[in-house]
Structure formats: C-alpha cells, structure tokens
Chains A and B, each alone.
Chain A
Amino acid sequence: MVDGPVLLVEDDVSDYRLIQRAFAKIKPFVPMIRLAHGDEAVDYLAGDGPYENRSLHPVPCVLLLDIKLPRRSGFEVLEWIRAQDSELRRIPIIMLTSSGHQADVNRAYELGVNSYLVKPSNSSELEHLVSAFRTYWLELNEGPNLCG
C-alpha cells in the first residue's frame, strides 16, 4: 500500500475541482499534485526547472492523465514516459478523460497505458470512480516502487 502522491494532469479547472472534491471525500487522505499542461508534466517527472527539488516535488506513485491538454497531449506525455531509460518509464498511468472514443482508447493501450477511465458526468459516480481508483492503484496494486 502506498499513500501517494498522485499526479493529476488536467487542464480544465472545473474538472480539476470536481476531481479534487471527490478525492477529498476518501480516507485516508491521498496527496495530489495537479499540473495543467503536458509540458509541465514532463518537466515535473524529469525533475527539470522549477521541479528540481525532489523533496518538494516527489515522484508520483500513479499518474491520472487527461488526453486533451495544451502544448503536449496526454498521448505525447504517455509516449515520453514509456520511452525513458530510467525507472520513470514504469510509472502506472491511468487515462482519465471525457473521451470514450474507441480510437482514443485503443491508441492509449497501444502506447502502453495501464488503464483507461472515462470521467463520469455526475459527482456521485466520480466519487465512486475515485474511490475505486484508490483501492485498486494505491492499495491493491504492487507498483514499481519509485514514488514518494
């Protein structure tokens, strides 16, 4: 069992607030880092620029990644992570997107996503999803052990 942090890459402010609220309802508390752009996610994971200090900016245990992001899309972030020579390439990545298009789903799996979740339209379903996400990825799943 790990206690995070979870890195959420989500550009939409209202979606972010909804997700944050759903996370706030689950116990124990899951620390979350939120970034709005694909480029920022890559900088953060690489520990570049403002994210150099790992005690302030720890490697996340799991990524929740939107697809439609400014500058660098979720697919590009996913591709970048999986192409790394370092242990970073093993970080579990879960797409969390409003797109349920089969082409997007297939592409994400082809690029090596661990799982693909579609954002529910109402908050009680989102709370259920966030709680199931936590149980599965932070409690049950054996991660590659590089976070924190």
Chain B
Amino acid sequence: MRDRICAGRGTRPSSDLMPEPVLPTILLVEDTFSDAALIRRSFEKANVLNPIVWVKNGQEALGYLSGLGQYGDRNQYPLPALILLDLDLPEMTGFELLQWKRMQPNIRRIPAVILTMDSATSAVNAAYDLGANSYLIKPGNPEEIMRVVKIIQEYWLGLNQAPKLVMRATPDAS
C-alpha cells in the first residue's frame, strides 16, 4: 500500500537542529455526532494521520483556539493548522466563530474551511465576507466524503503554505 504520510511519521531520525515536528492538528467543529464520526473515519481511511480535534460548537472552538482552561497546554492542545467548520451550530454558530476569529491577532491567520450541507448563496457569501478561506459542501455519501477529506489534506496540509502561528511554547516566534 502506498503510504507516504505514514513514512514520514516518527520513523525519520530527528534532525540535529530541531526536534521532529508532530503532524499539524486539524480542528473539526461539528455538532452532529454522526457527521463528525464519519469525517474522522474518512480521514483514517484516507490514511490521514494528522491529529483531529473534534469540538461540538463555536463556543468550544473558541475555548480551544484561545487556550482556555485545559486547552492552555499547547503541547497537548496545539493551535490547529486548519479549521474545518460547520455553520449551523448550537450556542455559537460558524458565522459567529468566523467573526470572532477575524478579530484575534495570530489566530485570524489560521485557514478556516467551511464544511456544511448548506449551499445557499447567502450562506456562501456571508462566510466569505467573514473571512472564510474556502467553502465546501459536505457530501452525502461516505465515498465522496473520503475523496473530499483526502483532497483537503493534500491541499491544505501539503500544498498550501501555512501562516506561522505564535505558540506560547515557542519563544522565537515572530
């Protein structure tokens, strides 16, 4: 089986200059348990080994991104390299999270990809206006979801040049 992501994980000897970086984290903000489970399973089946943190609403995502409470430990709860965001969420919607995020120094740079069933033009436009980086429609069947998560991983965690984030644990971050 071809598995180039796996080959790079933990098997390479550490560089002399810095410790082997762990794979970037994906923050999945999704209120529907079955959807979240399906997306996580699809990532696994697509051999995406990046850690996926699942939170159930915008409020929890805000807590994670701000490092509130237990999330203050950035070694255990690192800032994500990518946010996958549903829009219709309880307590704090995806739109409200985007609105909050764009006001936060540092965090506002993290790419946010909308992953939703809502294909209404008004939702798409509002998401872009609030700074969403991309807008994807959640496919209805598992095969399509697997294809989409694979493309997400290859594009956003492979090809795309990520912003540098200031982690509390990194003293030389600029």
Contacts and interface: CB of A to CB of B under 8 A. Distances in A.
Contacts of B135: 141-143
A72 interface: no
Interface stretch (B60-68, B90-98, B154-162): B154-162
Q: How large is the interface on B (under 10, 10 to 19, 20 to 34, 35 or more residues)?
A: 20 to 34
Interface in B91-138: 108-109, 111, 119, 121, 124-125, 128-129, 131, 133-137
B172 to A, nearest CB: 12
A106 B161 contact: no
A84 to B, nearest CB: 11
B160 A110 contact: no
Nearest to A95: B161
Nearest to B147: A140
A83 interface: no
B133 A114 contact: yes
A123 B14 CA distance: 31
Contacts of A118: 161
Chain A contact patch, size range: 20 to 34
B114 to A, nearest CB: 8
B145 interface: no
A92 B124 CA distance: 12
Nearest to B158: A132
A112 B129 CA distance: 10
Contact of B129 (A90, A110, A141): A90
Interface of B: 108-109, 111, 119, 121, 124-125, 128-129, 131, 133-137, 148, 151, 154-156, 159-164, 174
Interface of A: 87, 89-90, 92, 95, 100, 102-103, 105-106, 109-110, 112, 114-118, 129, 132, 135-136, 140-145
7 contacts: A109-B109, A110-B108, A115-B155, A116-B160, A140-B136, A142-B135, A142-B137
